């Protein structure tokens, strides 16, 4: 009976109820869309982060990040890699050696200081977005002459190198050009290595395009005497929102192999400034919720207090007939709940459509801001929304809880009414 009365009471003033429901639905839809947008932005950012060189998780020698010394390596890299790749939740892993060095073309005197990234091409191809940025050649591949079955031994010994487009221009080299790379080996002596340019990459990130060269890990380990060691292993997980348990799992697995001297960190521990930026985005969401709740409070309180004032005499009669204050309280709360459920249904449909648009087509903000470079990553100008459960559940729960919370005020007011004063309309 309580629900029947509440439902029928709602439609006594159809226009007011529809306006209230429309306002709340619209607010909910906007909230869902905005949360989808910000969550999508974070997801995109984390994805870009992971697909740059960072990954979701990084493994180093415990002192490597602070001292950046080439001597500080992860030993038994293949065993560590095996342990990582058998960890549930891990999508891909890429081991790397990183050196500083200088590069020059065999035909030019121009020398450039570079950062050498030695990668496992096959693993890196499944890991990062860099292979998509190739503008010429292949991704860390040997020169074609080295692959000829009947090639002379000196040809088969040739190694391929991938250069950033800007660096290639500065060195005036192209595919097939020969370059010399000098860098410090593990024993302290400088190692001079000859490479054939087999790939050119353009990321639109200046730091990469002008300073980075990539070579095959195996070639570099042999040439520098690094053996089975690497400086870094980057790990990508399937669910970027559930990194912590994977980090713990990897730590345990590595410790079980007696390699617990390796540091295992999530990206937000490696780059706390980016994590802080995301925290700010979350604060923005909090602000949105607060704004929504403020608008909501005005709508729901106005509607329910109008109900209280208009039906005061009725409440008085109900009390005179023997109704308890709590049953009137429940009646008002039921009306608020029904308004909330109606608004929730409409808001979810409208918000769902907006999220679908954001997820499928994205929002092209190129008319406001072009894609930009951040921390070595290129952030695109088409923003896609997230359609995760959180996007729908969190705003809906907040709005519904807000409605019920604000409804408490008029409901308590009704529950405290005195029968005679209410019949005489003296309560207001």
Partner 1 sequence: MSEPIVTVREVTRVFKMGDIEVQALRGIDLDIQPGEFTAVAGPSGSGKTTLFNLIGGLDEPTSGTISVGGRRLGGLSRKELSRLRLEKIGFVFQAYNLIPVLTAGENVEYPLILRGEPGPVRRKKVQELLDAVGLSEMTHRRPMQMSGGQQQRVAIARALVCEPVIVLADEPTANLDSETGAALLKLMRRLNREKGLTFLFSTHDPMVMNAASRLVRLKDGRIDSDVRQDNGGPP
By the criterion CB under 8 A, which residues form the site for partner 1?
Answer: 1, 4-5, 8-9, 12, 313-314, 317-325, 327, 419-420, 423
Nearest distance, CB of residue 319 and partner 1, angstroms: 7
Contact between 417 and 328 under an 8 Å Cβ cutoff? The reply is yes
Residue 209 near residue 29, CB atoms below 8 Å? no
The CA distance from 112 to 109, in Å, is: 10
For 11, what's the count of Cα atoms within 13 Å in the CB-facing half-sphere? 6
- Tell me how far, at minimum, the Cβ of 427 lies from partner 1, in Å: 14
- Helix, strand or coil, per DSSP, at residue 226: coil
Q: Please identify, using beta-carbon distances, which residue of 175 and 317 lies nearer to partner 1.
A: 317
Query: Between 321 and 368, whose beta carbon lies closer to partner 1?
Result: 321
Minimum separation from the CB atom of position 410 to partner 1 (A)? 18
**Phi and psi for 393 in degrees, rounded to 5?**
-70, -45
Nearer residue to partner 1 within complex by CB, 238 or 313: 313
Nearer to partner 1, 254 or 328 (CB): 328
Residue closer to partner 1 by CB (options 266, 415) is 415
Q: How far apart are the first and last CA of the chain?
A: 27
Closest by CA to 285, choosing from 36, 24, 25, is: 36
* Shortest distance (Å) from residue 426 CB to partner 1: 12
Measured from the CB atom, the residue of 6 and 171 that comes closer to partner 1 is: 6
Q: What's the min distance (Å) between Cβ of 418 and partner 1?
A: 8
For the bound state, the minimum distance from the C-beta of residue 284 to partner 1, rounded and expressed in Å, comes to 43
Residue 250: name the closest of 128, 126, 120, 88 by CA: 88
User: Which residue's CB is nearer to partner 1, number 5 or number 291?
Assistant: 5
Q: What angle do CA 371, 373, 377 make, to 5 degrees?
A: 110
166 vs 311 by CB, closer to partner 1:
311
How far apart are CB 419 and partner 1 at their closest, in Å? 5
Smallest gap from residue 4 Cβ to partner 1 (A): 8
CA dihedral (252, 227, 163, 167) in degrees, to 10, reads 100
Minimum distance, C-beta of residue 424 to partner 1, in the bound complex (Å):
10
128 φ/ψ angles, rounded to the nearest 5 degrees: -105, 170
Please state, in angstroms and rounded to a whole number, the distance separating the CA atoms of residues 14 and 128: 57
DSSP per-residue letters across 29-57:
HHHHHHHHHHHHHHHHHHHHHHHTT--SE
From the list 406, 386, 197, the residue with the least C-alpha distance to 304 is 406
Sign of CA dihedral 380, 385, 388, 390: positive
Q: Which is nearer to partner 1, 98 or 317 (CB)?
A: 317
Token pair recorded at residue 146: 């080295």
Nearest to 254 by CA among 91, 56, 90, 80: 80
Q: Least distance from C-beta 323 to partner 1, angstroms?
A: 6
Count of helices and strands (H, E) across the chain: 17, 14
Place of tokens 């999220």: 355
- Nearer to partner 1 by Cβ, of 188 and 322: the residue is 322
């Amino acid at each position: 009976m309580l629900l029947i009365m509440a439902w029928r009471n709602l439609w006594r003033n159809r226009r007011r109820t529809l306006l209230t429901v429309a306002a709340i639905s619209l607010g909910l839809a906007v909230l869902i869309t905005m949360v989808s947008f910000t969550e999508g932005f974070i997801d995109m950012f984390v994805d870009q982060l992971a697909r740059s060189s960072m990954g979701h998780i990084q493994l180093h020698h415990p002192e490597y990040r602070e001292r950046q010394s080439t001597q500080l390596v992860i030993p038994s890299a293949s065993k560590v890699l095996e342990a990582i790749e058998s960890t549930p939740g891990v999508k891909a892993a890429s081991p790397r050696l990183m050196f500083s060095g200088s590069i020059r073309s065999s035909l030019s005197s121009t020398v450039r200081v570079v950062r050498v990234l030695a990668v496992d091409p096959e693993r890196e191809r499944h890991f990062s977005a860099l292979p998509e940025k190739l503008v010429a050649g292949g991704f860390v591949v040997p020169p074609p002459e080295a692959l000829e079955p009947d090639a002379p031994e000196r040809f088969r010994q040739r190694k391929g190198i991938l250069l950033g487009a800007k660096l290639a221009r500065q060195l005036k080299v192209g595919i097939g050009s020969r370059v010399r790379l000098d860098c410090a080996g593990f024993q302290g002596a400088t190692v001079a290595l000859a490479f054939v340019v087999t790939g050119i990459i353009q990321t639109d990130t200046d730091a990469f395009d002008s300073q980075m060269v990539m070579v095959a890990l195996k070639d570099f380990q042999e040439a520098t005497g690094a053996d089975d060691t690497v400086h870094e292993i980057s790990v990508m997980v399937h669910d970027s929102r559930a990194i912590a348990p994977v980090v713990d799992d990897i730590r345990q697995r590595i410790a079980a192999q007696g390699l617990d001297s390796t540091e295992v960190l999530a990206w937000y521990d490696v780059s706390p400034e980016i994590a802080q930026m995301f925290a700010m985005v979350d604060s923005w969401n909090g602000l949105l919720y607060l704004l929504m709740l403020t608008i909501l409070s005005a709508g729901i309180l106005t509607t329910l207090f109008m109900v209280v004032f208009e039906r005061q005499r009725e409440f008085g009669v109900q009390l005179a007939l023997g109704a308890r204050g709590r049953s009137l309280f429940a009646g008002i709360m039921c009306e608020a709940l029904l308004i909330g459920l109606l608004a929730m249904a409409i808001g979810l449909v409208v918000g769902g459509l907006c999220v679908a648009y954001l997820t499928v087509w994205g929002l092209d903000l190129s008319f406001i801001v072009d894609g930009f470079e951040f921390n070595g990553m290129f952030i695109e100008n088409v923003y896609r929304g997230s359609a995760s459960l959180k996007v729908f559940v969190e705003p809906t729960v907040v709005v519904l809880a807000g409605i019920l919370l604000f409804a408490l005020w008029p409901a308590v007011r009704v529950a405290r009414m005195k029968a005679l004063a209410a019949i005489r309309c003296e309560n207001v």
